[in-house]
A and B are shown apart, each in its own frame.
Chain A
Amino acid sequence: MKRTHLIILIGIAALIVGLLVFSVDFSTYDTIQSAKNKQGKFVHLIAKLDKSMPITYDPINNPNYLSFYAVDSLGGQTKVVYHNSKPGDLEKSERIVLKGKMQQDHFDCQDILLKCPSKYKDDKKMLEQKMKEEVSSK
């Protein structure tokens, strides 16, 4: 077999693999409203914790049940249920990416990614905030 032929062959194989990969059901970023129209479909939501609503987490009774409410910039709101422990800095997060499926009345979340101002601190707003706190506490 000629080397060039072989390279072409491997290239074709790689292409087929590539096509297979992209036939995978890639997900989408959705708003809460558009996710509600895609019941049961795996989506990514970019939202914020709704601080006016209660967070339910009672680790003594069930350490694998967390529920809270999320809102997005377009005003959509949903209850979120996460069968896992409560991420440490949920309350502090500025923005959350929720991965999961909308199930009638709630969003069944499989993974939460928090964007916290504290995590990586190259954030001037956060510094300003801290500076203000420090000064006012004097």
Chain B
Amino acid sequence: MIQFEGEHLLPGQIGHFFVILALVSAMVSLIGFVAAFRTPDLQQKQAWQKFSSISFGIHFISIITIFSIVFYICANHYFEYMYAYKHASKELESKFLLACIWEGQEGSFLLWSIWHATIGLVMLRIKNENHLSRWKAPVMTVITTAQVFLMLMILGIYFFDVRIGNSLFTLTRYEIPGPIFSQPNYLSFIKDGMGLNVLLRNYWMVIHPPILFLGFALTIVPFAYAFAGLQTKQYGDWVKPAMPWVLLCAGILGVGIMMGGKWAYESLSFGGYWAWDPVENASLVPWLILIAGLHTMLIYKATGRSLRASYLFAILTFVFVLYSTFLTRTGILGDTSVHAFTEAGKAINVMIGLFVLTFALPMLSYLLFNLKKIPTIHQEEDTNTREFFMFIGALVFFFAALFIILITSIPVYSKTPFLKDLIIKLHKGPLAMPEDAEFLYNKIMILVAIIIGFLTAVTQYLKYKKTPAGYLTKQLRYPIIATVVLSIALFLLYPIEYHKHGLGFLIAIYVALFFMIYAIIANGMYIFLVLKSNLKFAGGSLAHLGFTLMIAGMLISSSNKQVISDSSVNGINVPVAKDPMTKKDDNPTENLTLIRQVPTKMGDYQVTFLKDSAGNEKGRKFYHLFFQNTNKQSENDRFVLQPDVYIMKDNNMSSNPDTRSFLTKDIFTYISFAINTKENEDTAQFKTFVMAEGEKNYYGNGYFTLDSVVKNPNNEKFHFTPNDIALMAAVTFVSKDSMHYKAYPLIQADSLGVLQVDDTVYAQNLFVRFVGIEEGHKIKIGVKESSTLIDFVTVKSYIFPYIILVWIGLIVMAFGIMMSMVHRANLSPKLGAVVLVLISIGLCYMFLFAG
């Protein structure tokens, strides 16, 4: 047995102990809650519940302890632990320490379980009589079952030859084979950890995962209540207590998803906020089903209908969260997604599969067996009622979700034994996405948007159970007039220029926009006309307004997205293809090379690559691009964007965009290529000229004059006082194409010696140096002509018009949902106001001001 030097084994041992304790306490608690809901005796029930609550408390504390220890290990760079070695590094700024915990599979499972445990703790603290006698035990049964699974995922104990779960506390020397681990002092060789992936070094990585996982964790609540409904045989009573949770989940999950979009837009070079990537889809699908469920539950509360559908949606929401876990964490998406985790081992995959099946199959069968017992109203409803149209909306959302998940699951089909062969036979090869995968989604989703837009506009004006004749037409008169006027104005003043998919799709975009405007106006007016500005009930309308505003923003900003870094303006590119509709060039010539200090036209802007500068982190480089609007001269239309790249070892790079936001548009720019190869290294020499003021000399591409020599200059570039000893030469270069370039080389003498500050004329590949002073008011000017280009950067630049509508819409939607939540949860006015104010500050900061 080797005695290793410098290892800190104690935290790991404590951590491992708490993982086991967390697992055992979750199991004990589970047994207690099962016993509690099975016993009819109230006293016994309470005894069991008390017992389980204590056990759950231990579970909660254990999980928090595990998290703290992981944090401690990463913060102290104990690289003897695999998790710290893989995810932390010494150069990592401390704000990213949390991010490196949830970068990995194990850490994100831990994060998920923290939220489950927190939700469980809240459940245990609810003092409502009904809750204590009915809902608490079955709801907690579901939550603790999930916790048992999550703890198994991070257990890391061998059961015969199979390792159950991956421990956060496993040692590096157990995981990586290598001769160095037979040396007692191996730790002294590990200078640094792998660190957080550079793509993820971003403040969104710190806040997005916790919010998204809170959203995911909250989906277990409606599932648990649905189980409780079936178990207690109080089939409809669970809807009321579940409602605030569903709303909370809808708000948080919705925000979490769009935070991912904002992150992708702001700091990843995907060129947008939504790409129908499988990982994005996997988080959207549960949200769509949840929203469907929210509406059927509202119908049930108002009319007693749609209870079965509510059960189905409540169950499927969580099932699809689990399914998305399966998609993103087992490596099954493999070649189709840019963000999926890589595989963490076969055993984990099997466990995740079991996790999904354990919840999905028994619960769906439980529902099926009890379906007949769930009360339903057999009398058919009128079609001119609110519930009728709400139900259609819910159904459309549900089908939209199914459609998305069916397409997203394509990689799964190719790995399903029987299906795989069938597909190969029918399709003549393994199934892959079509040429334009985004359009496949978009053309269906535009139809969904049209229907949803119409329904959100009209449905609120209908009444539950029966709407009096003529009421609807009377109420909707003004919204429809306003919509028609606005739509025509939009069509004339700001037409949609999206011809890529033909006239049919363009018309569909217009129709969808029309209904979005309709829904925005109708919901806005509803708050004033029908609710008489009574804000207590305005949550729903506000959420609908926000949602449709967000979709309208998406339609406009995507359809009229404009590529301004079109390199065909430089005459460099040969067009590849013609657009069938506009007969314009439609080719991906979206990259433009900017040569340092040479102004280049991009759309309405003249862009100059000024300089680059180093960032705080190793290998990070910022490029200063000066944008100047050629049509306007105001201060606002001149700005510097600083997209940056991380240049890693062996010349690989990762790029982060920079965006300038205006009310009407965003200018989005990122570096698509920034690596200067060795060939660009300079071998040219300075050639010295002795010149007097006004004298002229020649260089390779023209001539230059020495305009003046200034003593101790004090201008934009240099700041000298009369006491200094410095001379600056003003030189003008005139190239053959009669362009004038100014250069100001400087020479300075102080106690340290002589210092020369060279100047450059990048456009002419020139370096200019003030070499020295000669007799008779003459100076020596050195000119170096490089044979190769000196510095350049290749950029991509887009304009996203009115993208701010997307973020404002989201904020309004989330705020509306939270207003409803406050209302349904019966929070005191004071508490409710505090919650809402905090939420709106947080949302506005994140989506409008940060970054």
Q: Given known contacts A10-B396, A14-B399, is B190 in contact with A64 (CB within 8 Å)?
A: no
Q: Which of B105, B176, B572, B645 contacts A122 (CB 8 A)?
A: B105
Chain B contacts of A63 at CB under 8 A? 567, 572, 591-593, 672-673, 794
Complex Cα–Cα for A84 and B391 (A): 46
Q: From residue 85 to 124 of chain A, which have CB atoms closer than 8 A to chain B?
A: 85-86, 88-89, 91-92, 95, 97, 99, 110, 113, 115, 118-124
Chain A contacts of B177 at CB under 8 A? 128
Complex Cα–Cα for A138 and B183 (A): 14
Q: Which of B199, B344, B645, B652 contacts A92 (CB 8 A)?
A: B652
Chain A contacts of B655 at CB under 8 A? 88
Chain B contacts of A88 at CB under 8 A? 645, 652-655, 673
Chain B contacts of A44 at CB under 8 A? 335, 432-433
Contact assessment for A113 and B176 in the assembled complex, using a CB-CB cutoff below 8 Å: no
* A53 at interface by CB-CB < 8 Å: no
A130–chain B nearest beta-carbon distance, Å: 7
Complex Cα–Cα for A65 and B648 (A): 23
Chain A contacts of B340 at CB under 8 A? 120
Residue-wise, chain B 581-593 has the 8 Å CB interface mask toward A (1 for contact) of: 0000001111111
Q: Given known contacts A64-B573, A122-B341, A123-B342, is B435 in contact with A83 (CB within 8 Å)?
A: no
In the complex, the chain A residue whose C-beta lies closest to that of B400 is A14
Contact assessment for B430 and A29 in the assembled complex, using a CB-CB cutoff below 8 Å: yes
* A39 at interface by CB-CB < 8 Å: no
* B407 at interface by CB-CB < 8 Å: yes
Q: Given known contacts A21-B440, A122-B86, A122-B342, is B429 in contact with A34 (CB within 8 Å)?
A: yes
B157–chain A nearest beta-carbon distance, Å: 20
* B428 at interface by CB-CB < 8 Å: yes
Q: From residue 38 to 74 of chain A, which have CB atoms closer than 8 A to chain B?
A: 42-44, 46, 57, 59-64
A116–chain B nearest beta-carbon distance, Å: 8
> What interface size band does chain A fall in?
35 or more
In the complex, the chain A residue whose C-beta lies closest to that of B410 is A26
Complex Cα–Cα for A24 and B447 (A): 17
* A28 at interface by CB-CB < 8 Å: yes
* B789 at interface by CB-CB < 8 Å: yes
Chain A contacts of B792 at CB under 8 A? 59-60
Q: From residue 376 to 425 of chain B, which have CB atoms closer than 8 A to chain A?
A: 380-381, 383, 388, 391-392, 395-396, 399, 402-403, 406-407, 410, 414
Complex Cα–Cα for A63 and B595 (A): 12
Contact assessment for B395 and A85 in the assembled complex, using a CB-CB cutoff below 8 Å: no
Contact assessment for A25 and B435 in the assembled complex, using a CB-CB cutoff below 8 Å: yes
A28–chain B nearest beta-carbon distance, Å: 3
Chain A contacts of B672 at CB under 8 A? 63, 84-85
B216–chain A nearest beta-carbon distance, Å: 20
B439–chain A nearest beta-carbon distance, Å: 9
Chain A contacts of B432 at CB under 8 A? 26-29, 43-44
Complex Cα–Cα for A118 and B650 (A): 12
Contact assessment for B431 and A26 in the assembled complex, using a CB-CB cutoff below 8 Å: yes
Complex Cα–Cα for A44 and B567 (A): 28
Contact assessment for A122 and B344 in the assembled complex, using a CB-CB cutoff below 8 Å: yes
Contact assessment for B591 and A64 in the assembled complex, using a CB-CB cutoff below 8 Å: yes
Q: Which of A43, A89, A134 contacts B191 (CB 8 A)?
A: A134
Contact assessment for B652 and A113 in the assembled complex, using a CB-CB cutoff below 8 Å: no
Q: Given known contacts A92-B650, A134-B190, is B429 in contact with A120 (CB within 8 Å)?
A: no
* B504 at interface by CB-CB < 8 Å: no
* B338 at interface by CB-CB < 8 Å: yes
Contact assessment for A85 and B794 in the assembled complex, using a CB-CB cutoff below 8 Å: yes
Most buried by B among A14, A64, A115: A64
Q: Which of B189, B338, B399, B595 contacts A113 (CB 8 A)?
A: B338
* B468 at interface by CB-CB < 8 Å: no
Complex Cα–Cα for A113 and B335 (A): 8
Chain B contacts of A2 at CB under 8 A? 380
Q: Given known contacts A21-B403, A122-B104, is B335 in contact with A115 (CB within 8 Å)?
A: yes
Contact assessment for B429 and A84 in the assembled complex, using a CB-CB cutoff below 8 Å: no
* B16 at interface by CB-CB < 8 Å: no
Complex Cα–Cα for A26 and B396 (A): 24
Contact assessment for A91 and B190 in the assembled complex, using a CB-CB cutoff below 8 Å: no
Contact assessment for A121 and B86 in the assembled complex, using a CB-CB cutoff below 8 Å: yes
A19–chain B nearest beta-carbon distance, Å: 12
In the complex, the chain A residue whose C-beta lies closest to that of B565 is A63
* B40 at interface by CB-CB < 8 Å: no
Q: Given known contacts A6-B392, A121-B194, is B590 in contact with A64 (CB within 8 Å)?
A: yes
Residue-wise, chain B 181-201 has the 8 Å CB interface mask toward A (1 for contact) of: 000000001110010010100
Q: Given known contacts A60-B792, A128-B177, is B572 in contact with A84 (CB within 8 Å)?
A: no
Q: Which of A1, A6, A60, A113 contacts B593 (CB 8 A)?
A: A60
Contact assessment for A10 and B429 in the assembled complex, using a CB-CB cutoff below 8 Å: no
In the complex, the chain B residue whose C-beta lies closest to that of A4 is B380
Contact assessment for A124 and B592 in the assembled complex, using a CB-CB cutoff below 8 Å: no
* B827 at interface by CB-CB < 8 Å: no
Complex Cα–Cα for A1 and B380 (A): 8
Q: Given known contacts A24-B440, A61-B572, is B434 in contact with A84 (CB within 8 Å)?
A: no
Complex Cα–Cα for A105 and B345 (A): 40
Q: Which of B180, B403, B595, B796 contacts A85 (CB 8 A)?
A: B796
Q: Which of A7, A29, A97, A131 contacts B178 (CB 8 A)?
A: A131
Contact assessment for A28 and B573 in the assembled complex, using a CB-CB cutoff below 8 Å: no
Contact assessment for A128 and B591 in the assembled complex, using a CB-CB cutoff below 8 Å: no
Chain B contacts of A62 at CB under 8 A? 567, 572-573
In the complex, the chain A residue whose C-beta lies closest to that of B334 is A115
B175–chain A nearest beta-carbon distance, Å: 7
Residue-wise, chain B 777-798 has the 8 Å CB interface mask toward A (1 for contact) of: 0000000000001001010100
Chain A contacts of B429 at CB under 8 A? 28-30, 34
A80–chain B nearest beta-carbon distance, Å: 15
B177–chain A nearest beta-carbon distance, Å: 7
Most buried by B among A3, A34, A95, A120: A120
In the complex, the chain A residue whose C-beta lies closest to that of B788 is A60
Chain B contacts of A131 at CB under 8 A? 176, 178, 180, 190
Contact assessment for A42 and B191 in the assembled complex, using a CB-CB cutoff below 8 Å: no
In the complex, the chain A residue whose C-beta lies closest to that of B573 is A64
Complex Cα–Cα for A127 and B380 (A): 64
* A18 at interface by CB-CB < 8 Å: yes
* B444 at interface by CB-CB < 8 Å: yes
In the complex, the chain A residue whose C-beta lies closest to that of B566 is A64
Complex Cα–Cα for A61 and B432 (A): 35
What are 27 A-B contacts with C-beta separation under 8 Å?
Answer: A10-B396, A27-B434, A28-B427, A29-B414, A29-B429, A29-B432, A34-B429, A60-B789, A62-B572, A62-B573, A63-B567, A64-B590, A85-B591, A88-B645, A88-B673, A89-B653, A91-B652, A97-B335, A113-B336, A118-B648, A119-B197, A120-B197, A121-B197, A124-B176, A131-B190, A134-B191, A135-B178
What residues of chain A have their CB less than 8 Å away from a CB belonging to chain B? Answer: 1-3, 6-7, 10, 14, 17-18, 21, 24-30, 34, 42-44, 46, 57, 59-64, 83-86, 88-89, 91-92, 95, 97, 99, 110, 113, 115, 118-124, 127-128, 130-132, 134-135, 138
The 6 A-B residue pairs whose C-beta atoms are closest, nearest first, are: A28-B429, A85-B672, A88-B653, A63-B591, A89-B652, A27-B432
